[in-house]
Structure 1
Amino acid sequence: MKTVEFFKKKQVLSFEVFPPKRTSPIETIYSTLDELKGLHPDYISVTYGAGGSLNNNKTLEIAANIKNRYEFESVAHLPCINLTKEDVLLALNTIRENGIENILALRGDINPDITPCTDFSHASDLVAFIREHGDFNIIGACYPEGHPESKSIVDDIYNLKRKVDAGVSQLTTQLFLDNEYFYTFRERVALAGINVPIEAGIMPVVNKKQIERMVSLCGVHLPTKFIKMMARYENNPIAMRDAGIAYAVDQIVDLAAQGVDGIHLYTMNNPYIAQKIYEAVYRLLAA
């Protein structure tokens, strides 16, 4: 089933997981999925392994198991910066053979240690290529605070419109900690003529290291109340975890009340955190 169909019925709840490190057995992710299964997400997406190579990448294997073993719709991430057209065709064949209908099409992060391939310069190029080679539901990424590499918000929205026009049928946002950025972004994309469902990506922040990484990679804005929370609890791991969960729940409650199309929860492969958030918000999203 194409995940875009879920948005016609309800506010969607989806989870994201990532493959285990190459030094860890793949079975470690299945213990996580065993616990997430009881939370009944509409679908689960799987991020791409580090480096962007098809070799030794467990993403497609995990996505296939989510679809066929756990019987949830799955989304396979596919970043193109280090892939050739032949690589993508091989991935599409594997995805198709395993009954997966949904792909998150990404440019991917540039790795300074790897020379990028030149077949796809932008995510929109990958989207158009996928559209030409199969009947997949293509999901795109978007950035409420603007892509870090964009010249301006206007330029970022313009590029997003190109991606949607190329064949994206739903969008998932990068994480954000201030809902006002999401609401402003939603207004801007509507004015630009982008009318596909937009899921809000929510990442529960449970430790200081995680925040430092978010700021360096995404440039995410830290609201005053979030900074105060960090200052109060950063030296108490359990309190910080619980405060991070509470902050994410507060975000989701507000987003649900404002008619968000769906919530995409970055689980960080932590079923406990996903469980606590699910218990707090599932009635809101099911209403």
Structure 2
Amino acid sequence: MTLHPLVSMILHRLALGLLTLFAISLFIFFAIELLPGDLAEEVLGQSATPETVEAFRRELGLDQPAMLRYFNWLGGVVRGDFGTSLANGRDIAELLAGRFANTLFLAIYAAAIAVPLSITLGLLAALYRGSWFDRAVNILTLTSISFPEYFVAYILLLYFSVTWGLFPSIADFGSDADLSTMLFRTFLPALTLVLVVTAHMMRMTRAAIINLLAQPYIEMARLKGASPVRVILRHALPNALAPIVNVVALNLAYLVTGVVIVEVVFVYPGLGQLMVDSVAKRDIPVVQACCLIFAGIYILLNLGADVLAIATNPRLMHRK
């Protein structure tokens, strides 16, 4: 049975994604293996006796060869068992579930603002190309993207929290907060992410639309008397969706995987904050699990970007 070309492409990309994830898991595991010091001694402290350290090493499986420990760890990951946290003895999968949900909530919140805002600004900048509006939007977005995330976060904290007192400086909303409280307390970290990712999507939207405005079918639409807004929305935008979808998906991947600094600044209880805390506590199993989840999400969203780009422009299925 012959598969549809799109289905065949999805299966091929899934296989390539799994292979990439396997390579990343190798890198994560053996990069941590190269860290200086002994994990058992770091966890137990300098006052631990050699017998206690040796017993703890056997409990962690550190007395086994590295490759055997890697395949044992990988087998557990495939079954959904990430092991046990060294810091508090909790099951890592249970520990990750709540934190991942918080990170996903923050990413969706930021995306719900950033995606329509950036596409709208990009379309307006292309429509009024060369105007003061186009120049102002480009200057503002380039300014926001030029500053590192922590700088943008601290500027927002300084004015919106410390000076004006409009929003809380800590984004931890607890476990029983309603949706309005969650949206209010996470507004500043979401706004930080919006300012960081909007420029990429806006500029790509603008560039994709402008590249199409010189095409013959656009000139024909203008000669038929179509308004500039109709030309962009009806004729240019559908053919520019592929690059726009790609950059949107890549920025969505960043919103999920690149929130570490923002979560630390706002003390947000997400996956990035958990990873930083685990590094400080040398809770290696949790660090490995966080890194693998971030890598898996990034690969999955890149796959989604390819599929959506081809679905909006089937010509991309053909090499010529």
Q: Do these two structures clear the TM 0.5 threshold for a shared fold by scoring above it?
A: no
Larger RCO, structures 1/2 (Cα 8 Å, 6+ apart): 2
Normalising to structure 2: TM-score of the pair?
A: 0.20
Answer with 1 or 2: which has the greater Rg: 2
More helix per residue: 2
